[in-house]
Amino acid sequence: MISTDKTENAVGGFDDLDYWIVKTDAVGNIEWQNTIGGIDNEIFSDIQLTRDGGYILGGYSESNISGDKTENSKGNYDYWVVKLDASGSVEWQKTIGGSGEDRLYSLQQTGAVFPESAIQAFRKTHLFQVAQGPGA
């Protein structure tokens, strides 16, 4: 569904949730927006500005490969980390989890970087520390 401010349809079905990221200027005018998700639910939890002027998004997803998701779910819900460039385009994404339910609630950029031999999706990108949330 599209509201008066939302310019993109949901990625999943009518009742499914997606990440909806909106960048505004200082007075609230929309500069860009991006609806990101797969066929099932994606629950957005946190966003951080990255050192390269882009954004890192954190939350959790139950979607397999579909829509914007490029990796299958590992269990019920899994961490879903998405890196956007400064204009809101997806640079990379990573699904992280086990066979159960994994819910990411917050993330924080650290100073460390992955070495050249690291996972392709994270290559030359700063590490982000993630937290599982209350009671974890």
pLDDT tens string 13-48: 656 788 888 888 888 888 998 889 999 989 888 998
Whether residue 112 contacts residue 128, with contact meaning beta carbons closer than 8 Å, is answered with no
Mean pLDDT of 113-121: 36
How far apart are alpha carbons 113 and 78 in whole angstroms?
23
User: How many whole angstroms separate alpha carbon 71 and alpha carbon 78?
Assistant: 11
pLDDT in tens, 43-85: 888 998 888 899 999 999 999 999 999 999 998 899 999 999 9
Query: Other C-beta atoms within 10 Å of 85: how many?
Result: 13
Q: What is the pTM of this model?
A: 0.74
Alpha helical stretches, state H, 41-119: none
